[in-house]
């Protein structure tokens, strides 16, 4: 089992709580990035800043030939008012680390310290990716565009997972988190007076039919063996008490458990919207605003990651999961579309608030668990190359 010194864990804990108290939203992570870059330079890493605006990439080059592996942590917070009452609660009103990115960053910094201490036993290179804007900003895609993934042979990352035993490490082969798509829908009708709806084409009335009809996409079109969700998150129409508006606007968020499920949901959503609107004499415009694909883990890398976790933490604290632990999306998916890898999970405790909740808090006890996984993966991937 990988063990970090008490002093190293204490520093990681202090760092995590400092980051929690000073959250920054997507593409605003300037202070966080400065802290990360300073720590990594002090450890001897070659550091590049400013990727995807606020991203940081650090390279540990052993000077010996071998593969290049990457580890990733996300840095951004959420626009949520914190209600935990912690001594280190957010000092930035309306901003909160409600998803644990403070812990992801602190644990990778802890791993960086451990890796620097064993670099003589490794071959090849380790790249550390500290990414901005995971929360709806497509930060991973922009990091890739900036070259962060160049030369990387495999990549690994993790997410803390409330609702699972504290410190338990687990992973799933294939789709491991849901894909997410955002749509803006405009329903154009014909305005008129509230007293004469017969002379108008009421986009609000049509919109309510669309909201109801969209539920058939999952219940009647998607196989019950697949996973999917369609949610209308916004509905705006009209600005007067006695006027039927010309148009109404809807925002729709869909989730899918596989590329095949996404293709069906996308096709059927567009069909349902168009045909319901046509049936009422209205016209619909559907625009896809954002798409994050499902996190699809490579089979071999998942086998390796699970075996590593069991080896260092034991079968009671590590293993495989066969069902989607969440339909939440993660832009780590973009990395996995380019190179093989594994996105694993570390339990954040069975009690406590869920992600994106104002009472959520990352558990400091799992910092050395996650960091230990990164260190063990590097030892097994790059240490093996020494004997070749």
pLDDT classification of 384: cutoffs 50, 70, 90: low
As a whole number, the mean pLDDT across the chain is 96
The reply to whether 135 sits in an annotated binding site is: yes
pLDDT of 387 reads: 43
- The 10s digit of each residue's pLDDT in 158-180 is 999 999 999 999 999 999 999 99
Look at residues 346, 334, 335, 336 and name the one whose alpha carbon lies nearest to residue 306. 346
Cα within 13 Å of Cα(199), Cβ side: 7
pLDDT classification of 326: cutoffs 50, 70, 90: confident
pLDDT of 2 reads: 59
The reply to whether 99 sits in an annotated binding site is: yes
pLDDT of 385 reads: 43
pLDDT of 332 reads: 98
| Residue bearing tokens 């594994």 | 342
pLDDT of 388 reads: 39
**Assigned fold of 179-292:** Alpha-Beta Plaits (3.30.70)
Taking 90 as the threshold, does the pLDDT of residue 324 lie above it? no
Q: How far apart are CA 74 and CA 1, in angstroms?
A: 26
The residues of the chain that CATH labels 3.30.70.360 are: 179-292
pLDDT classification of 325: cutoffs 50, 70, 90: confident
pTM, full prediction: 0.93
| Cβ atoms of residues 117 and 102 within 8 Å | no
Structure tokens at 149: 């993934």
Residues 96-113 have a mean pLDDT of 98
| Cβ atoms of residues 154 and 302 within 8 Å | no
Helix (H) or strand (E) holding 50: strand 46-51
The residues of the chain that CATH labels 3.40.630.10 are: 6-177+294-387
| Cβ atoms of residues 213 and 219 within 8 Å | no
Whether domain 6-177+294-387 has CATH 3.40.630.10: the reply is yes
Residues 243-255 have a mean pLDDT of 98
- The 10s digit of each residue's pLDDT in 265-289 is 999 999 999 999 999 999 999 999 9
pLDDT of 61 reads: 97
Residues 310-331 have a mean pLDDT of 92
Collapse the DSSP code of 26 into the 3-class scheme (helix H, G, I; strand E, B; otherwise coil) and give the result: coil
pLDDT of 286 reads: 98
Taking 50 as the threshold, does the pLDDT of residue 331 lie above it? yes
pLDDT of 45 reads: 98
- The 10s digit of each residue's pLDDT in 107-142 is 999 999 999 999 999 999 999 999 999 999 999 999
- The 10s digit of each residue's pLDDT in 222-233 is 999 999 999 999
Structure tokens at 337: 């579309």
Look at residues 266, 264, 341, 345 and name the one whose alpha carbon lies nearest to residue 296. 341
Q: List 71's β-bridge partners, or say none.
A: 128, 156
Q: Which residue has the higher pLDDT, 324 or 86?
A: 86
The reply to whether 101 sits in an annotated binding site is: yes
Residues 29-56 have a mean pLDDT of 98
CA 187 to chain centre: 31
pLDDT classification of 85: cutoffs 50, 70, 90: very high
Instruction: Tally the residues of the chain.
Output: 388
Taking 70 as the threshold, does the pLDDT of residue 98 lie above it? yes
């Amino acid at each position: 089992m990988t063990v970090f010194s008490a002093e190293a864990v204490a520093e990681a804990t202090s760092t995590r709580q400092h980051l929690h108290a000073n959250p920054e939203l997507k593409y605003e992570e300037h202070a966080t990035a400065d802290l990360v870059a300073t720590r990594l330079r002090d450890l001897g890493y070659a550091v590049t800043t400013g990727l995807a605006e606020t991203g940081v990439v650090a390279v540990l080059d052993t000077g010996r030939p071998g593969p290049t592996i990457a580890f990733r942590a996300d840095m951004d917070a959420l626009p949520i008012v914190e209600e935990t009452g912690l001594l280190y609660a957010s000092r930035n009103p309306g901003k909160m680390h409600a998803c644990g990115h403070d812990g992801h960053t602190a644990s990778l910094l802890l791993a960086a310290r451990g890796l620097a201490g064993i670099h003589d036993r490794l071959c090849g290179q380790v790249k550390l990716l500290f990414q901005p804007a995971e929360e709806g900003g497509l930060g991973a895609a922009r990091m890739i565009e900036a070259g962060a993934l160049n030369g990387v042979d495999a990549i690994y990352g993790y997410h803390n997972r409330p609702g699972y035993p504290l410190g338990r490490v687990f992973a799933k082969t294939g789709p491991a988190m849901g894909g997410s798509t955002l749509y803006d829908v405009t329903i154009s009708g014909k305005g008129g007076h509230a007293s004469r709806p017969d002379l108008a084409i009421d986009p609000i009335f049509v919109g309510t039919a669309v909201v109801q009809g969209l539920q058939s996409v999952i219940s009647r079109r998607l196989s019950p063996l697949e996973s999917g969700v369609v949610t209308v998150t916004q509905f705006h129409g009209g600005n007067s008490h006695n006027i039927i508006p010309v148009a109404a606007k809807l925002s729709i968020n869909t989730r899918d458990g596989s590329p095949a499920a996404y293709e069906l949901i996308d096709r059927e959503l567009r069909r349902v919207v168009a045909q319901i609107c046509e049936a009422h004499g209205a016209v619909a415009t559907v625009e896809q605003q954002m798409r994050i694909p499902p996190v699809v883990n490579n089979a071999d890398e998942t086998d390796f990651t699970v075996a590593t976790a069991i080896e260092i933490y034991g079968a009671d604290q590590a293993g495989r999961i066969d069902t989607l632990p969440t339909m939440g999306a993660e832009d780590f998916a973009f990395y996995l579309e380019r190179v093989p890898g594994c996105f694993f999970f570390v339990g954040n405790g069975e009690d406590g608030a869920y992600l994106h909740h104002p009472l959520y808090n990352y558990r400091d006890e799992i910092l050395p668990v996650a960091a230990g996984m990164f260190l063990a993966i590097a030892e097994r991937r790059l240490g093996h190359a020494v004997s070749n």
